[in-house]
Amino acid sequence: MKVPFLNFETFGSIGAIIVSVAALYIAWDQAVVMRQEQHAGAWPYANIETNFQGDEDFDYIEIRLANPGVGPAIVREAYLLAGDQRVTNLFDLTQQTFPDDLLQTIEFGGAESAMGVLAVGEERQVIRLNWPRDEEEGSQAYSSYLTQAISGTAPIIGIEVCYCSVYGRCWRGRTDIQAVGRDHERVESCEPSPDFISTIFDRPGDTAVSATSAPAPATFDTSTSTEGATK
């Protein structure tokens, strides 16, 4: 069998092909690393907290939304939550969450839209509900509910958001006392949703409530600004 003769030009051509393939691989690998660094350099994180607080005048519950990430969070979906259920208005939010004795003294403390761009380091008080501290029965009811909510035996108010980075990577997260510190779920995209601020004072029109069996509806001082309570 005759062995084919390989001259210097042939070796040179093969070497050039190998070098070209290696250079192409290195360039592709560097591009991947650069894209990963680019995304990491603009990675948002929509941190959601439901806080139980108090001051001289009120016991209150607030939902806060903050972005401690390294890039802006573009919030494209935002829903109010009564426990695990999405709701569209303040009436459903409270009626499905709080016991009757808390509903009697509740006051609306303000709301701010969760939608739009949340800058790095920005924090919003999405909603606040107050209970005056000068009413002893109300304070006892608040303390009792607080114990149950923290133990997980009573539902809490919250929000669910879907947000994206400036490069189109998206995540979905929601309030969950039992899941503090867990990563948000990565999703392919967010679908634009109506802002709950536009329906927050609506009352359900398709639910017949019996006056003899249903708890007295909560009354809210709607003169409070919807730009949010003082931070």
DSSP-assigned states of every residue in the chain: -PPPP--HHHHHHHHHHHHHHHHHHHHHHHHHHHHHHHHHTT----EEEEEEEE-SSEEEEEEEEE--SSS-EEEEEEEEEETTEEESSHHHHHHTTS-HHHHTT-EEEEE----EEE-TT-EEEEEEEEEETT-HHHHHHHHHHHHHHHHTSS--EEEEEEEE-TTS-EEEEE--GGGTTPPPEEES-------GGGGTT---SS----TTTSPPPP---TTS-TT----
Average pLDDT over residues 98-109: 91
Phi then psi for 8, rounded to 5 degrees? -65, -40
For 183-200, what is each residue's pLDDT tens digit?
688 999 998 888 999 999
Ranking 51-55, 90-94, 212-216 by mean pLDDT, the lowest is: 212-216
Amino acid identity of residue 169, one-letter, is R
CA 209 from centroid of its chain's CA atoms: 31
Predicted pLDDT at 164: 94
The answer to whether the beta carbons of residues 96 and 83 sit under 8 Å apart is: yes
Q: What is the pTM of this model?
A: 0.71
Question: Could you count the other beta carbons within 10 Å of the beta carbon of residue 6?
Answer: 9
**Residue 207 pLDDT class (50, 70, 90 cuts):** very low
Q: Which residues contact 135 (CB under 8 A, 6 or more apart)?
A: 105
Residue 225 to residue 69: CA distance in whole angstroms:
29
Predicted pLDDT at 183: 63
The answer to whether the beta carbons of residues 69 and 120 sit under 8 Å apart is: yes
Residue 197 to residue 219: CA distance in whole angstroms:
18
